[in-house]
Structure formats: structure tokens, C-alpha cells
Amino acid sequence: MKVSKTIYLFLVPGTVLYLLFFVYPTLSGFYYSFTNFDGMSDQFKFVGMNNYKNLLTEDMIFAKSLGNNLKFMLFVVLAQSIVSLLFALFLVKNTRSNILFRAVYFFPTIISSTAVGFIWTFMYDPSMGLINQALNGMNLPSLAMNWTGDIDIAIYSVAFVQVWAHIGQMMVIFIAGLQGIPEDLYEVAKIEGANNRQTFVHVTWPLIKPAATIVVAYTTIQSFKAFDLIYVMTGGGPVNSTEILSTFLYHTAFQSYRFGYASAGSFLFLAIIGLITLIQFRLLKSNAA
């Protein structure tokens, strides 16, 4: 079947938009990463690899942002994956009560991250927040604390909010995987005398690994896109204790007006995400095998 050359004209609009709004900005950003461009002046100098060198060897805030992002990612990936799987196991059957609970747990997912951030900022308030008031009401004042003001726990407090907001979304993915497992396999496992733990290890888990892969990959991406939640709740503070790579780049570019430096940081950010994705893919692939 001969294809008319005219059909290739339909590719032109999408290609032009892709080149104009993705390829050109990416190449421009890569060029500016080797300059001291401030984002406003047309006068800037080529500084070579200095931006990359400073980020990797001298910029302590960048290093802290990377460390915070890794802490945030590990907490979110582990907690969100485990809890959402537990919820899915309890709510896998399509009963009326289970469907109701699924809807309740899924509801926070449809709320914007900005709104979630404002809600939990009030919840975490050390004097008027619901959490500390509840702890005081239960005669547990020793557990009340400044959840987002303590540099030791602030990043985990925000990570908990990220987990809370997306557990329902990941739960739905696990439920879809669980419902795709044939009931015959469970009947065979029961006949063979397998207990609940053995059934999960040898039947359930191997067959929901594809769903688990999706959850882990998507949750990792979410943890690096938590700019709005961090910005609303803490702005990166206190003392950069919740600064992650995306907020670091924002502050560097739009508050310090160091667009060339921020461009270098963004490409390092891209390289870091690529490395983590590669490692994650290899681990998941080896586990699947």
C-alpha cells in the first residue's frame, strides 16, 4: 500500500510546536548553563564549567537540597507503596462498603496540592493546629511539636502529607492488579495447604509486580515534583531543611536572578533523575526476573 506524501504534512504542526516549545528552550537552557545570565540583561559572560563545578563542590544548599530530596523520595516511595498495598488487600472485594472506602481514600487525590498544603499547614500549626490540640486533649503534650518548624522532622512532616494525598491513587492501581489474579490460583494454594503469608509470597506478590513497578515509578516521579506542596507549606525552610531540588532552582532563578546557574542546576537535576530511574529500572527488572 503506497502512502501519499501529503500525509506527512499532518506531522508539521506537532513537529513545529515540539521544536519551538521543547527542543529550542532545552538547547537554550543548556547554553545558558555555561554563562552568568541573570534572566534580564542581554549582557552576560561565558563561564564554562564553573556553574557545574560550584554546584557539585561548593554549593552547600544544593547538596542539602539533594539530600532532602532523597530523604523525601525514600519516605514517600516506601510509605506510600506499603500502605496503599495494605489498603488494596483489605478493599479488593467489590462490596458496597469497600467501594465507599475506596472513594473516601481516593478523594484527596483530586484536591490540588496547593489546597492540600494549606489544609495541612493549619493542621500542623503548633498552637492552633488540630494535631497538637488532639494530643493535648489526650494528655499527651510531650508528643505535640512544631511539625514544620523543627529542622529535624520538617521534611518528613511534608512527606507524610504527600503520602496522605496520593495513597488512594496508588491503592486503585494495586486493586486493579489484585483483581486480575485468577481465583483458581488461590483455590489451588488453599488445597495445597498454604497459609495467608505463603499465599501472598508465592501467588499474590509475583502477579502484582507489574502494578508495584508502576506504583514505585510513579511515586518516585511525584516525589521530585513536590514543588507546590513544599512551597506552600514551608517555602523550603526552616534553614533549608525542606529545600528540595525544584525549590532550590526556583529560588536561584527567580529570587536570586541567577538563571545561568539555575540552568546548570536543572541539567544536573535531570541527570540525577535519569540515574535514579536507571537504577530503579534495573532493580525492578532483576526482581521481576
Residues 216/228, Cβ–Cβ less than 8 Å? no
Measure CA 127 to chain center. 30
CATH number of 69-245: 1.10.3720.10
pTM: 0.88
pLDDT of residue 82: 94
d(CA 258, CA 251): 9
Residues 260/34, Cβ–Cβ less than 8 Å? yes
Under the banding of pLDDT at 50, 70 and 90, the label for residue 287 is: low
For 210-241, what is each residue's pLDDT tens digit? Answer: 888 889 888 988 898 899 999 999 999 899 99
- 4 DSSP 8-state letter: P
Under the banding of pLDDT at 50, 70 and 90, the label for residue 149 is: very high
pLDDT of residue 98: 92
Q: Which residue, 238, 239, 265, 237, is CA-closest to 250?
A: 265
Residue 284: is its pLDDT beyond 90? no
pLDDT of residue 249: 94
Residue 76: is its pLDDT beyond 90? yes
**pLDDT, mean of residues 252-262:** 93
- Of 41-45, 78-82, 115-119, 267-271, the poorest mean pLDDT is in 41-45
pLDDT of residue 289: 55
For 31-74, what is each residue's pLDDT tens digit? Answer: 999 999 998 888 889 999 999 999 999 999 999 999 999 999 99
pLDDT of residue 43: 87
**pLDDT, mean of residues 199-219:** 89
d(CA 154, CA 236): 10
pLDDT of residue 153: 94
d(CA 211, CA 15): 33
Can you give the residue ranges of every domain in the chain?
A: 69-245
Residue 280: is its pLDDT beyond 80? no
Backbone φ and ψ for 83, nearest 5 degrees, come out as -65, -40
User: Which cell numbers hold the place of 166?
Assistant: 496520593
